[in-house]
Chains A and B, each alone.
Chain A
Amino acid sequence: MFSKNEKICIRQLESLLILDLYSRGVLFLPRLAVEAANQDGWICLIGATILAAFYGFIITRLVRRFPNDTFVEFSAKILSKPVGMVLSLLFFVKLIIFAAFELRIFGEVVKQILLPQTPIEVIIASMLLIASYLVRKGFEARARLGEILFFIVFIPLISVLIFVLPDADFGNLQPFLTTSFTHFLKSSYDLSLTYIAIELLLLVGPFINDYRKLEKASVISIFFVGILNVISAIIVLAVFGVVQTKRQLLPFMVLMGIVEIPGAFIERQEILMIIFWILSDFSFINASLYFSSLIIKRVSKIEDQGFLVLPLVPIVYLISLFPDNIVQTTDWILVLRSFRILFMFFIPLVLLLVARLRKLGETVEK
């Protein structure tokens, strides 16, 4: 029943994962997709989702071999201690940097849409503090909050997508399939990098009460988010057309702005809509903070994780203020893009192969 060992069930993991996966892409993804392959962008998104599911498959296969270990322990077991240590620290640095840039984008968007006169430092710091407050409450609390946020985020969002339909002109999607196959593959690969949160699965092993269902959870989460992304890309495309979509920095927000919900009396509902995105992004920032402090905890073997998150707060804060503006931040993210695939795909793949060769961990029973 309810134990004190911080285990969560698969359903909770799914809602956490969906929130984390979703927050990354939603605002930019339609533009990125259209930039990559014009009106065929949404097809590339389907490809990206399938690729991400493949990454997820590799990662879950690896994690299933070591159900009681996180990345820190099993990388050390597979590739010797020093290499494992280096990889873990690299992972830590990566998580921190991406959390910081995500936070920066978050701050910029909130400032632009909600609080034009508030200094961005205040927005970033307050979000960071609240995210670390949740880290201190532990994994179980995160999972439960994820369950609640799931409904707060997705029910309004999906209903809004339905209300946009009258404005959509699906003629904008034509002509179909004009991109070449190699281009399609390349774009799919590029877009699949937005599913970066899938790498967090490398660290959840010990918290899952039924690790055999891990693969199912990752597939369900990725496809849930993937379908949502494809639908929003289609609708954005249908409403704005290729040229308009490329011109908007945050096409999805603009889309939210033009929705006319029948009977609604609130104006500028994109402000309300951004709330759902804030909640989902909060979940991602919190996840990054949680797992980076978890890596430190596991590496240093200190018991109290709530205490470990405090030194991370100023570090993330300073890194997030490093770029000058939102354009520079997105440039930075582009520069670091190739870094992402490392933990999403290559390192898990290498670890899995070596583990198979060395016959480490539990073998997957059929």
Chain B
Amino acid sequence: MGIKDWFKNKTERKEQWEDAFHDEDNKITIPLSKKLDENIKNLEILFQDCGDFVRRKFPVGVNKEINVFIAYIDLMIDRRIIEESLLEQLIVQIRSVPPQMDRIKTSIYEFIRDGGLATADIKEVESLDEAVLAILSGDTILIIDGYAKVIVISTKGWPNRGIQELDSEVVIRGSKEGFTEALRMNTVLIRRRIRDTKLKVKQLQIGTRSRTDIAIMYLDDIVRKDILEDLEKRLDSFKIDSILDSSYIEELIQQDWMSPFPQIQATQRPDKAASAILEGRIAIVVDNSPFVLLIPSTINNFFQSSEDYYDRWTIMSFTRLIRFIAAFFSVGIPGFYIALTDYHPSMIPTPLTMAIAASREQVPFPTVVEVVLMELAFELLREAGTRLPGPIGSTIGIVGGIIIGQAAVEAKIVSPVVVIIVAVTAISSFAIPDNSLTVGFRIVKYLIIATSAILGLYGFLLGILIVLIHLVSLKSFNIPYLYPYVSAGITGYNDLKDSIFRLPLFMMYKRPVYSRHEQRIRFRMKKKNE
């Protein structure tokens, strides 16, 4: 915590946002006035040089004696709603109502609110800050002369890319929908899967400048209150100017910021989020991000794929096992190879030793250099391939595979065995379903290469021990990261049913540890007379 505290002290000073209109948190401080012209003047100042700001002041009524003012941001609104439900009502329809001015005059605000707006989604705000925020979020405001209140009409209708097929976490069997950038669409995708009033969608805004909408979704009676409180406390513990992606939130609320392992799961799959919520976990949906965060997350979650539950349990249990082995390979194989060939060649069967020695005969580098060289070459290929557009990306694969692999061996820069080792490591790392965990393992791999190169098999073991010690000390929202492989006794080893193996659904009749203690049962057989 040392560095974090130091950093906290450094940033304790107030940021220089204060001016006549804003306070230190970039909130607008000036109040609404009863005079329309003053409000308009304030808004004009605030929206000075904002070319996308659209406003209109116009009189209503037969005698045109009351002025109203509407404002919105261009194209963030649905123009049809504004024109049909708002302007037409106010400008055209109201005129045809026989004026009873003496009666209406005192209650013109209520008259317009109740009778002038043909839309259900309106609300009233009483501060300029909220009014401006509404404009900036794509709503339309209506100010009536003589009232220090603003009517906000929900007219959000900005362009988005719609629900599309997933590009990561792909499954063969199962839903193909993916989360998208619009917050409301994402919450709908989850809501569609859980039709329960206990599914709560708590909304808040983070980011003093971006004012990003964030929705915390959970099942009220299943979620554990301590985790929920912990989350709310952590979300409340910082101030940041903007949240551009859910990963900002992830990084700011995780427990151990130095760990290479992800402590919060991010998913693009609505069914995964829904299943997590049904297990008592909490989903954090962040506007403008197609990745939904799931807390708490243990290492087990990162090895689970949605498909595990959609396909036959026998085959999926086998697949799970393969994944765990792959994870171990992706971390350990290069280090193990170095340890064996450099320190304990007597452990390898003699014919294989001969083969390795023969293939290394003309290679000028020590094994470590060879392995690290190839690993780095592979990292390079991966990085180049990720950023390039599709067609060129596959070219990189061919160039990398054939030219670097084949030619490097023929040029005697690396031995073919090392190419095999690196390839197996790479393929294994792709077998882990969650990309962020793969990244963590990739870093750890180099640590183990280093310790194995220094101390052989003993070093390999020490490297594994360091990683294990780190992992056992990690916690995600106070749940041990290695759960249920450690401390599973707390739920009577129930959670091991969904770990290395995935047992049939009817056997996993209890929810995992994330849920509240008295709400564990999720499945039961119907009795005969039921």
Contacts and interface: CB of A to CB of B under 8 A. Distances in A.
User: Secondary structure at chain A's binding surface: helix, strand, loop or mixed?
Assistant: helix
B347 A267 contact: yes
A282 B465 contact: yes
Interface in A190-230: none
A134 B465 CA distance: 9
B349 A145 contact: no
A2 B490 contact: yes
A144 B482 contact: yes
B472 A115 contact: no
B344 A114 contact: yes
Contacts, number: 97
A279 interface: yes
Interface string A253-296: 00000000000011111011001001100100000000000000
A141 interface: yes
B196 to A, nearest CB: 24
Nearest to A282: B465
A42 to B, nearest CB: 31
Contacts of A266: 347-349
B487 interface: yes
Interface in B184-217: none
Contact of A148 (B346, B473, B482, B513): B482
Given A148-B468, A266-B347, A126 B462 contact: yes
A127 B465 CA distance: 10
Residue among B224, B348, B472, B482 with the highest chain A CB neighbour number at 10 A: B472
B381 to A, nearest CB: 32
A122 B490 contact: no
Contact of A114 (B457, B465, B486, B487): B457
Nearest to B477: A2
Given A11-B489, A115-B456, A271 B344 contact: yes
Contacts of B508: none
A130 interface: yes
B480 A144 contact: yes
Given A144-B487, A148-B472, A265 B349 contact: yes
A144 B347 contact: no
Interface in A73-114: 110, 114
A165 to B, nearest CB: 24
B487 A115 contact: no
A145 B478 contact: no
B80 to A, nearest CB: 52
Contact of B472 (A110, A122, A145): A145
A148 B486 contact: yes
A9 interface: yes
Contact of A123 (B350, B455, B482): B455
B95 interface: no
Given A2-B490, A9-B490, A115-B456, A137 B472 contact: yes
A267 B479 contact: no
A24 B521 CA distance: 45
Contacts of B480: 2, 140, 144
A144 B489 contact: no
Given A2-B480, A145-B472, A279 B461 contact: yes
A167 interface: no
Contacts of A272: 347
A1 B517 contact: yes
B522 to A, nearest CB: 18
Interface string B337-380: 00000011011111010000000000000000000000000000
B147 interface: no
Given A137-B473, A144-B480, A145-B469, A130 B348 contact: no
Interface in B221-280: 224, 226
B458 interface: yes
A146 to B, nearest CB: 9
Interface residues of A, number: 37
Contact of A268 (B344, B458, B486): B344
A325 interface: no
Interface string B17-53: 0000000000000000000000000000000000000
Contact of B457 (A11, A267, A271): A271
B470 to A, nearest CB: 8
Contacts of A11: 489
B472 A12 contact: no
B457 to A, nearest CB: 6
Contacts of A121: none
Contacts of A110: 458
Contacts of A269: 347
A35 interface: no
Contacts of A265: 349, 352
Contacts of B352: 265
Contacts of B325: none
Contacts of B479: 2
A118 B479 CA distance: 41
Contacts of B466: 130, 133
A60 B344 CA distance: 45
Contacts of B459: 126
A4 interface: yes
Contacts of A123: 455, 458
Contact of A130 (B343, B346, B465, B487): B465
B485 interface: yes
Nearest to A276: B461
Contacts of A115: 343, 455-456, 458
Contacts of A267: 346-350
B342 to A, nearest CB: 11
Interface string B461-505: 110011011001101001110100111011000000000000000
Contacts of B469: 130, 133-134, 137, 141, 145
A114 B458 CA distance: 7
Contacts of A148: 468, 472, 482, 485-486
Contacts of A126: 455, 459, 462
Contacts of B487: 2, 9, 12, 143-144, 147
Nearest to B489: A11
Given A9-B489, A12-B486, A126-B459, 17 more contacts: A4-B478, A114-B343, A114-B456, A118-B455, A118-B456, A123-B455, A126-B462, A127-B462, A130-B462, A143-B486, A148-B468, A148-B482, A265-B349, A267-B348, A268-B347, A278-B461, A279-B465
29 contacts: A1-B224, A1-B490, A2-B478, A2-B487, A9-B490, A11-B489, A12-B487, A114-B343, A115-B343, A115-B458, A122-B455, A126-B459, A126-B462, A133-B466, A133-B469, A141-B469, A144-B472, A144-B480, A144-B486, A145-B469, A145-B486, A148-B485, A265-B352, A266-B348, A266-B349, A268-B344, A269-B347, A271-B457, A279-B461
Across the A-B interface, give the 9 residue pairs with the lowest CB-CB distance, nearest first: A144-B486, A137-B473, A144-B472, A141-B473, A11-B489, A145-B472, A147-B486, A141-B472, A134-B469
Interface of A: 1-2, 4, 9, 11-12, 110, 114-115, 118, 122-123, 126-127, 130, 133-134, 137-138, 140-141, 143-145, 147-148, 265-269, 271-272, 275, 278-279, 282
